[in-house]
Amino acid sequence: MKNHSAIAEFILVGLSSSPEHQMILFWSFTFLYAVALISNILIILAISTCSKLHTPMYFLLINLSIINVCSVSVTVPKMLQTILAKQKSIAFAGCIAQVYLFTLALGTELLLLAFMAFDRYAAICQPFQYMVIMRKEFCTGVMAGLWLLGMVNASVHTGLVAQLSFCNSNLINHFFCELPPMFKISCSDTSLNETMVFTASVVIAIGSCALTLTSYWFIVQTIFRIQSTEGKKKAFSTCSSHLLIVSVYYSTIIYTFLRPASAYSLEEDKIIAILYSVVTPVLNPLIYSLRNTDVKEALTKLIAKRLFQKD
């Protein structure tokens, strides 16, 4: 690492400096974190224990839940700790770890959402070839590739951040160590970092978004060719949950990372960051479980089984 010298730790400003807001924020985010953690873990357990759900779509949903647990656990526990602590600090190594893990989760989720759109394309547009296209070897191979790409992307950004010098200020105006606010306080030239963030955003975020929109273009065309109203409703219902998540996630990520550094508004970005780092991991399992009869049945059986065993 270069001489990031004078800075051994950073101070996280958080969401509010107002004392009367601190406990409201603490209990609000404790609740959101608990909901995200419990609901995503229940999704993983329900799908894993129900043989009926051992299909490509639910294999991808398990991976989405794993990513959600990772992303929300990287940011929220430290934020809760800094709300309660008098010294709102995070060690340099801890900050670098946050950058790596969150960037890994972020990039992998973007790629996974595109693969989930392709899965829906295969199911609706190529129903008779679906199990051939989405065979086990293909799904596991692509998923391993997505995680690997996420790791490479996270390693590049983390390595570049670790080379920066922070000599003027250690005050990060955010609730976790995210790239844009770290660039703001660096006394090094961050043009390479910003270029790599922009490039990754174009390749991963815009690329994934383009693949998703292409899949849905073919899906919509196929749905309109379906004669029965019931058939159209069923086809739309299998896509609407994924499309809702995709709309929120892609729009917030692209807005955050594709702007030039001069256009960053850190106060505004903190609110947007809550959407993709906290709210989305809460919404994902709720949307997929509440709108999916098979998942609801599996969850009911899982909970009933645990309660029965306890009794």
Distance CA 289, CA 270 (A): 28
Q: Is the pLDDT of residue 288 over 80?
A: no
Provide the pLDDT for residue 236: 72
Provide the pLDDT for residue 266: 65
Provide the pLDDT for residue 149: 95
Provide the pLDDT for residue 3: 45
Domain of residue 56 covers 9-310
Question: For residue 213, what is the domain's CATH number?
Answer: 1.20.1070.10
Tell whether 4 is covered by a domain. Answer: no
Tell whether 240 is covered by a domain. Answer: yes
CA dihedral sign, ordered 22, 23, 29, 30? positive
Taking residues 70-81, report their average pLDDT. Answer: 92
Tell whether 2 is covered by a domain. Answer: no
DSSP category for residue 259: S
Judge whether 10 and 89 are in contact, CB under 8 Å.
yes
Burial call 203-230: b when 16+ CB within 10 Å, e when fewer: ebbeebbebbeebbeebeeebeeeeeee
**Chain-wide mean pLDDT for the chain?**
84
pLDDT category of residue 4 using cuts at 50, 70 and 90: very low
Q: Is the pLDDT of residue 283 over 50?
A: yes
Distance CA 311, CA 299 (A): 18
Range in 88-97, 112-121, 244-253, 259-268 the model is least confident about: 259-268
Percent of residues, the chain, with pLDDT higher than 70: 90
Range in 81-95, 121-135, 164-178, 243-257 the model is least confident about: 243-257
Tell whether 217 is covered by a domain. Answer: yes
CA-nearest of 33, 34, 46 to 303 is: 46
What is the domain count for the chain?
1
Tell whether 226 is covered by a domain. Answer: yes
Taking residues 149-157, report their average pLDDT. Answer: 95
Tell whether 218 is covered by a domain. Answer: yes
Q: Is the pLDDT of residue 95 over 70?
A: yes
Provide the pLDDT for residue 209: 85
Tell whether 3 is covered by a domain. Answer: no
Tell whether 275 is covered by a domain. Answer: yes
